Every structure is written in structure tokens, then in C-alpha cells.
Amino acid sequence: MCVGDPLRLLSVEGIAGTTTDGTRVSLVDLSLVPEAVAGDWVLCFLGTAREIITAESAAQIAAALDALRSVMAGGEVGDAFADLDRAPSLPPHLQAALDAGQSHG
């Protein structure tokens, strides 16, 4: 599984950008987002920025990643997913199976 990191662009030089997550500085490839400028938030996968995101989205993604790290270390999720204002739902075929009383495949 590939997880994207929200990073803030500090500077841009050609197709390379210097970014930070607030604790570390890294160099990323901006080939897929040539319109990105210093100050933008980008979602990066394996050292490549895939899209420009809002500061709000960056904060939500960072909170979710922090919650996952916490759970993996035996901690709690807290309110990291508070932006999800709906209960999770099953795909229609699984919901139909559950409604029919099936609990396993």
C-alpha cells in the first residue's frame, strides 16, 4: 500500500520542489503538478507530488496519519477522523448479503 504525505512546498526549482511536513525537509518531483508554487500543499507518494491540495485537506490527512501511527503503537485514534460526518457503509453487494443473514463468504 502506498500512503500519501501532505507536504508544504518551500521552494520550486524546475521540476523539483523542497518541501516540509513541519519536522523534516525533503526534495520531491513536481513533474505531475507543474503549476505548483512555493507555499502550496502537495500530496506526495514515493517522493512525487501527485496533486495540489488545500491547507484544510493537508491538516485532515496529517491528523489521519497521526491517528494511524498512534493505533499502530497501541494508542487511541482520538478525534482524528472527526471530518468524516457519516457512518461507514458497505458496498451494495455486501450489504445485501448482510441483510440476507450471511456473515461470512
Contact assessment for residue 62 and residue 21, using Cβ atoms and an 8 Å cutoff: yes
Cβ atoms < 10 Å from Cβ of 37: 12
What is the rounded average pLDDT for all residues in the chain? 88
Kindly state the cell numbers that stand for 52. Answer: 495540489
Residue length of the chain? 105
pLDDT tier at 3 (50, 70, 90 boundaries)?
Answer: confident
Sequence letter at residue 104: H
Residue 88 has pLDDT above 80, yes or no: no
CA atoms of 52 and 29, how far apart (whole Å): 13
Residue 32 has pLDDT above 70, yes or no: yes
